[in-house]
Structure 1
Amino acid sequence: MARYTGPKARINRRLGAMIYETAGAARAMERRNTPPGMHTRGRRPSNYGLALMEKQKIKHYYGLGERQLRRYFDAVSSKQGNTGELLLLMCERRLDNIVRRCGFTKTRPQARQGVAHGHFLVNGVKVTKPNYLLRPGDEVEVRDREGLKNLYRGVIANASPDALDWVAFDSENLKATVQGLPGPSDISLPVDANSVVEFLSR
């Protein structure tokens, strides 16, 4: 999606989840976790509204545009298995998501920016597309520049990376190796993916 530059706490409050992980958005969510606006309290959204909110969670969390989300949906809808799970598992394999979950950055927008600026190599080749889908055997590492390595070492030292069974992370050499494919338990976003599938199938 086009990079969202508006108030992140407002999105978190509207969707009722910590979609954006910045410190300011987290503090604002703690202070006021009700939806924004004067006339939203006490109103129960329709089934359509609930499904739309779940879809918005996926788009904001993974940084997807509408067309990109539908491309992912089209790619998994013909495969066997739970379409909602397959959709989220495809999102989990994105380069910017793995950069974030390994602890290279504190938020997904930071990971997206780092990838777009060419800070990371995949199998020794610079990749600038945050939506690059990683496969088993792929290696992600920081480019061999002292400034970049010092930057990411500092972030990792103060970060709490997710423990991923399918990705091995070497914090000393700033390298992540994809060892397999993610499973349903590896999905990091709590969302009703089945309602999103129904929404996109209309």
Structure 2
Amino acid sequence: MARYRGPKTKIARKFGEPIFGPDKVLEKKNYPPGMHGQSGRRRKKSEYGIQLKEKQKAKYTYGILEKQFSNLFKKASASKGVTGEVLLQLLESRLDNVVFRLGLAASRPAARQLVTHKHIMVNGELVNIPSYQLRPGDIISVREKSKSLEVISDSLTSHRYNKYAWLEWDGAQMSGKFLNRPEREEIPENIKEQLIVELYSK
């Protein structure tokens, strides 16, 4: 499936946030790209423009394309609960995102690659679909032959794993458990999901 492979720093500067991870260039140039970026002389954004920007930020953050995002929103709309919160919960429940959250990969694109290259198992079965939706109780583990992979050990030793209330990590087994879908306050991403809901409601 097609993925965004363009300049990531430019996109991060557009949103003013390190949505692809730590970025030294963004730290130095914390203003939008383009000739008017530093001066701030940009046209005032419309309500639609603000809502669209928030949706784009969510798409880039989780690394998914328009059709997938739209399908997730429809699923969230049909579910019980607050649509915006359910949408973020569905994004957080993706296999590639959880692999990233567990610290097995340094970024979501790296996590997606681990999944597509068949290094990750769910409940003892190989799963190579990054968008696979995890359910409470699912066990995510590294395939036995892949446990010595340098990219995984480097990510784990650099202590990228932060403890999240909805995940449980077993370092000895190199496996994690998806306990439940996270509550909104537990999701660290700076996304105003209500703006996305308003955009799709038009």
RMSD of the alignment, in Å? 1.5
Cα drift, residue 150 of structure 1: 4.2
The answer for the alignment partner of 1:181 in structure 2 is 181
- Conserved in 2, the CA contact under 8 Å of 1:122 and 1:141? yes
Cα deviation for residue 189 of structure 1 reads 1.4
**Percent identity of equivalent pairs:** 38
Cα–Cα, structure 1 residues 149 and 185, in superposed 2: closer, same or farther, change >3 Å? farther
2:24 to 21, 24, 27: 27
Q: Structure 1 stretches (4+) deviating beyond 6 angstroms?
A: none
Letter of the 2:49 counterpart: G
Q: Distance in 2 between matches of 1:8 and 1:84?
A: 26
| Structure 2 CA distance for aligned equivalents of residues 168 and 79 of structure 1 | 26
Q: Residues 133-157 of structure 1: CA distance to partner in whole angstroms, max 9, x if unpaired?
A: 1011110110111x54342233201
- Tell me, yes or no, if the aligned pair for 1:136 and 1:179 is still in contact at 8 Å: yes
Judge which range, 125-134 or 159-168, deviates more.
Answer: 159-168
Confirm whether residue 153 of structure 1 aligns to residue 153 of structure 2.
yes
Cα distance in 2 between the residues matched to 1:173 and 1:103: 14
Q: Which residue of 2 aligns with 1:71?
A: 71
Cα deviation 1:84-117 (Å, max 9, x = unaligned)? 1110111000001111011101111100111111
Q: Distance in 2 between matches of 1:5 and 1:148?
A: 28
Counterpart code for 1:171: G
Deviation of 1:80 after TM superposition, in Å, equals: 3.0
5+ residue gaps, structure 1: none
**Are the counterparts in 1 of residues 3 and 65 from structure 2 also a CA contact under 8 Å?**
no
Looking at structure 2, the residues matched to 56 and 187 of structure 1 have their Cα atoms a distance apart, in angstroms, of 18
Higher mean C-alpha displacement, 170-179 vs 147-156:
147-156
Deviations 1:25-60 (A, max 9, x none): x10100101111113423232211111110011111
Alignment pair present for 1:101 and 2:110: no
- Do 1:106 and 1:159's aligned partners in 2 also have CA atoms closer than 8 Å? no
Query: Any gaps of 5 or more consecutive residues in structure 2?
Result: none
Letter in 2 for 1:16: G
Task: Output the CA distance in 2 between the equivalents of 1:133 and 1:149.
Answer: 26
| 1:1-202 map, 5 Å | 2-21=2-21, 23=22, 26-40=23-37, 41-43=40-42, 44-145=44-145, 147-151=146-150, 152-202=152-202
After TM superposition, the score normalised by the length of structure 2 is: 0.92
Q: In 1, distance between residues paired with 2:140 and 2:196? A: 31
TM-score by length of 1: 0.92
1:13, distance to aligned residue in structure 2 (A): 0.4
1:160 Cα deviation (Å)?
Answer: 2.5
Moved more, 175-184 or 27-36: 175-184
The structural deviation recorded for 1:70 is: 0.8
1:137/1:180 contact within 8 Å kept: yes
Please tell me the residue identity of whatever aligns with 2:41.
Answer: G
